[in-house]
Homo-oligomer: A and B are copies of this chain.
Amino acid sequence: MAGEVRQLDDRKLAVLRAIVQDYVGTEEPVGSKALVERHNLGVSPATVRNDMAALEEEGYIHQPHTSAGRIPTDKGYRLFVDKLAEIKPMSSPERRAIRHFLDGAVDLDDVVMRTVRLLAQLTRQVAVVQYPSLTRSTVRHIELVALAPAKVMLVLITNTGRVEQRMVDCPGTVGETVLADLRSRINARAAGQRLPDVPGLLEELPAAFEQADRPTVSTVLATLFEALAEQNEERIMLAGTANLTRFGHDFPLTIQPVLEALEEQVVLLRLLGETTDAAMTVRIGRENAYEGLNSTSVVSVGYGSGDESVAKLGVIGPTRMDYPGTMGAVRAVARYVGQILAES
């Protein structure tokens, strides 16, 4: 390790930074001459060539064939992101625009939709937003509605504004008084609690009812628990798929595997799942577990109402992407969505 650090003196790092920046801009392998022209490195092409040879030796860059320019490797991008780049903050007009665009949302669906579209537009890449997960949110209200003598609709409302509904087929006719009683007891104990904690709090509830009503109560509770536990109901919204076509030649063969990956909610969820909660995560190329995304990078971060993150959002683009800009946009959007959610 010490070896690597010693080898990479400041100028070599500057060369790597310049290569990444140029390649991101031009999409073409960058040669030594062009490099010294576009950046004032203060040395000659020959010197740069030596540095490039060293960088290639270390695996940070790579040349597609003899006598072509150099291209950053995944490892090169990694170093660039970790050490050489700073997240580019949004300009203040951009921030105002984000704020304004998100402020118009009326309900949770709308917030998520606006967020994902905004993110796709800002980064001109594919954006992914996960709905605030049920697991981490708390109960705002649980409503029971009698639709028919033996049919009850259960509505679960969370603090993030998400609404889940379930039909319950009861074993027998349900009296309105029993239902009202059950409703108020459930809410008294569950309101404000985290979703995973609720089942424990309601366990003893059937005992408080008369023998005849217990089957009904149990059925309703079972459905409620089911709804609470249904973690895989975690939904995701996607936008900006069309942006992929702009990068046609960035993908080995076609964009097909990428599109296929994007259609699999499971893949996307796992992708976002790898984000460490608060900090921004960048997965570059083969660092992504899923094979179809081997030539893409994923920039993701958690967002939430208040101080803790309830879900994640991110951007998927070609390995050759503008990392500082993308990271800036992702961070800014996550921040504002958090604020919006906290307000509502």
Contacts and interface: CB of A to CB of B under 8 A. Distances in A.
Interface of A: 106-107, 140-141, 143, 145, 147, 153, 155, 157, 163, 165-167, 239-242, 244-246, 248, 254-256, 259-260, 262-263, 344
A155 B141 contact: no
Contacts of A241: 241, 259, 262-263
Contacts of A166: 106-107
A267 to B, nearest CB: 12
A107 B263 contact: no
Contacts of A259: 241-242, 244-245
A155 B143 contact: yes
Contact of A245 (B141, B143, B239, B256): B256
Contact of A165 (B163, B167, B256): B163
16 contacts: A106-B166, A107-B166, A107-B167, A141-B145, A141-B147, A141-B153, A143-B143, A153-B157, A163-B165, A240-B263, A241-B262, A242-B256, A242-B260, A244-B259, A245-B254, A248-B254
A145 B186 CA distance: 14
Nearest to A258: B242
Given A107-B167, A143-B145, A245-B255, 15 more contacts: A106-B166, A107-B165, A141-B145, A141-B147, A141-B153, A145-B157, A155-B155, A155-B163, A241-B262, A241-B263, A242-B256, A242-B260, A245-B256, A245-B259, A246-B256
Give the 4 A-B CB pairs with smallest separation, nearest first. Answer: A242-B259, A245-B256, A242-B260, A163-B165
Contact of A239 (B145, B255, B263, B344): B263
Query: How many monomers of this chain does the complex have?
Result: 2
Contacts of A244: 259
A245 B157 CA distance: 40
Contacts of A140: 147
Nearest to A256: B245
A322 B245 CA distance: 26
A245 B255 CA distance: 7
A66 to B, nearest CB: 31
Chain B CB within 10 Å, residue with most, of A106, A141, A145, A255: A145
Nearest to A146: B141
A156 B4 CA distance: 64
Contacts of A256: 242, 245-246
Nearest to A245: B256
A24 B263 CA distance: 26
A28 B244 CA distance: 28
Contacts of A153: 141, 157
Contacts of A163: 155, 163, 165
A188 to B, nearest CB: 14
A135 to B, nearest CB: 19
A108 to B, nearest CB: 9
A26 to B, nearest CB: 21
Contacts of A255: 245
Chain B CB within 10 Å, residue with most, of A107, A140, A165, A260: A165
Chain B CB within 10 Å, residue with most, of A165, A240, A242, A245: A242
A155 B165 CA distance: 11
A106 B145 CA distance: 18
